[in-house]
Structure 1
Amino acid sequence: MSGVAGYVDAIGFLKLGGFFVSFMSGNSTRLGVALATSHWTAALTVIGLVAAFVAGVVLGALTARALGETRRSPVLVLEAVLLAAGAVLLALGHDRVGVAAVAMAMGAENAVFQRNGDVAVGLTYMTGALVKAGQRIAGAMVGGEPNDWWRYALLWTGLAAGGALGALSYLTIGAAALWFAVAIVLGGALWAERRYRAV
């Protein structure tokens, strides 16, 4: 799922000319720069993206709580619906609302692996994953588990590879590239539901 986040974020980045739909740390830095340099349009863009992302987090968290945190498919369906809404709105020329729906989808994605109301695995941000990879490598160097770092590195690799694919897709077919993400997320929802029912 981190690959989907990278894929969608690259599409948003190119569509928005340097703003992010899932990387809120980057947007926060952009906000600070925009405020310091009196670029009010950029500041409002970031504020809108952050608000949409947080709204998506709230929707995802409420969905997970209401339908069971171990059941991943409802959150994935929510994410797919928001991505599809964004794709349709962008195709119709409603860019602001379309991008907001996509940012909401990225916020909701973080509830896929929610435990006790908290994110267990962050899928749209990688600084924490890279820190954990580095900490696990350090632990391995002093006698700890030698292979405990690779899954965090894999999350980052997924995000970066997804970003490359998203950029290539956007440069080829524009925002319609979001439909590939919708299909992947719906496929993930079906897989997650089958696993849930098999337990």
Structure 2
Amino acid sequence: MTIARRRRLIKRQRTGTALAVAATISFLAGMTDAIGLLSIGDFVSFMSGNTTRAAIALGDGDFTGALLLVGALGAFIIGNALGVIAAARLGVVGVLSMVSLVLMLCAGFGTSMPKPFYFYGIVLAMGLVNAAVEHIEGLPIGLTYVTGALSRFGRGLGRWLLGNTNRQWLMQIVPWLGMFSGAVAGAVLQRHFGPASLWASFALSAGLTLATILVPSRWSKRYIHPG
């Protein structure tokens, strides 16, 4: 096997592994978002929706509802910031371990928590998880916000139709597929098990954490910094 061929093979394996991790995280986000929406009444990973809902609540004079949603936006921002710090210090496994810990606490003590704490805890976890994979082979990828992924997919399609042969844009559909299928699973789980279905989110996050231990660190470091 030539050196060039070996490098191509390694790159395919590296890209495939990154896509599998990204798809699983998006599935986790979609499942948790559906569980949160059905059990709490608000989104836990869809901050565009919460921004609009906060604005509507403010316009309707519902200051308490608006404040609750603005607080969720703050929790999401803090989660993203903490995720970046965790990724820099502890790597992808560290980020996912923190996500698993927060989800475990919310699943275990959620029913006894005041609603805002429970809500913000899950939102914090969804913010954290975004730092696990930011790039795949240098291409920006979104995990819990699929509007950007769909926009990049559409723009890539437009450029392809204009004659651009680069097809990296195809991987942008992966987070959407993960989010959609995860939301379906979350809705089914919540309908059958109620708030206890959040344990499924914890189990998936914990399982993914264990799986990423097997990913070579030289690969996972590329998820955080453009490669």
Same fold, judged at TM 0.5 (above) = yes
Unpaired segments ≥5 residues, structure 1: none
**1:11 corresponds to:** 35
**1:182 corresponds to:** 202
Task: For residue 147 of structure 1, report the CA deviation from its aligned partner.
Answer: 4.1
**Greater C-alpha radius of gyration:** 2
Picking from 67, 86, 110, the partner of 1:44 is 67
Task: Give the fraction of aligned pairs with identical amino acids, expressed as a percent.
Answer: 33
Q: 1:39-63 deviations in whole A, cap 9, x for unaligned?
A: 1221022022112212211221111
User: Which of structure 1's runs of 4+ aligned residues deviate more than 4 A?
Assistant: none
Decide whether aligned partners of structure 1 residues 151 and 30 sit closer, same or farther in structure 2, where only a CA change above 3 A counts. same
The normalised TM-score by structure 2 is 0.78
In 1: Cα distance, 2:185 partner to 2:163 partner: 38
In 1: Cα distance, 2:196 partner to 2:205 partner: 15
State whether residues 64 and 114 of structure 1, in contact with CA within 8 Å, keep that contact through their aligned partners in structure 2: no
Q: Matched residue pairs, number?
A: 192
State whether residues 7 and 159 of structure 1, in contact with CA within 8 Å, keep that contact through their aligned partners in structure 2: yes
Coordinate RMSD, CA, aligned:
2.0
**1:82 corresponds to:** 102
**2:174 corresponds to:** 154
Unpaired segments ≥5 residues, structure 2: 1-24, 220-227
Q: 1:117-166 deviations in whole A, cap 9, x for unaligned?
A: xx942211011100111011112212223743332122111101111111
Q: 1:147-195 deviations in whole A, cap 9, x for unaligned?
A: 4333212211110111111111111101111111111111111121111
Picking from 49, 52, 56, the partner of 1:26 is 49
The normalised TM-score by structure 1 is 0.88
- Tell me the amino acid that sits aligned with residue 91 of structure 1: T
State whether residues 137 and 146 of structure 1, in contact with CA within 8 Å, keep that contact through their aligned partners in structure 2: no
